[in-house]
Each structure stands twice: as C-alpha cells, then as structure tokens.
Amino acid sequence: MSHTIRNKASLLARVRRIRGQVEALERALEAEKGCAEIMQQIAAFRGAANGLMTEVIEEHLRTHVASPSITSNASRTKGADELVEIVRAYLR
C-alpha cells in the first residue's frame, strides 16, 4: 500500500488548487491580460508545484524509508533509491 493514500485528501486538495491556478491562467491568456499578470500567475503555480513536491517527498521519506513499520532492509533501500532518483531529476 502506497503512502500517498495516507495523505490523499491533503494532496488532492493541493492538486485541485493547482488545477484552479492553471485554469485561471488559461482564462487570463484567452482574455488577453497583460503579461506582467500572466508571469505572476505562472510564478504562483510553479511555487505551488514545489510545495506539492516537498509534501510528497516528505511523505515518501517518512513512510517508505524512515518508518519503524518497515521490517525489510530491501524495502528501505528501494524507498531510498526512488527518492534519490527523483531528487536527482528535480535538482538537475
């Protein structure tokens, strides 16, 4: 069972807020708003994406690497490998 379930409600709320931001950006483009406003909207939802990533990384770390309920070393190593891979791609 994946840890994303544990925080499903919180993560879904974040993703829906981001979807709302992207939809607002789409409407702003269609309405031909000024680009200063457009750029601020993009910055806002990029920030929200970073916040979501931070929350998922924390959950993954606590549930798949650090949790006392993990009894197999192989499981911990797998959880760590997955995290390393994503951090490498994200911080390139």
Q: Kindly list the residues in this chain that would bind a copy of itself in the complex (CB under 8 A).
A: 2-5, 8, 11-12, 15-16, 18-19, 22-23, 25-26, 29-30, 32-36, 38-40, 42-43, 45-47, 49-54, 56-62, 64-66, 68, 73, 76-77, 79-80, 82-92
Angle (nearest 5°) at CA 86 between 82 and 89: 145
DSSP 69: T
Residues found in the chain:
92
Nearest distance in Å: CB 30, a copy of itself? 7
User: In the complex, what is the shortest distance from the CB of residue 9 to a copy of itself, in angstroms, rounded to a whole number?
Assistant: 10
What is the smallest separation between the CB atom of 79 and a copy of itself, expressed in angstroms?
7
DSSP assignment letter at 3? G
Alpha helices in the chain (DSSP H): 8-30, 35-60, 73-90
**Looking at residue 78, what DSSP letter applies?**
H
* Minimum gap (Å) between residue 78 Cβ and a copy of itself: 9
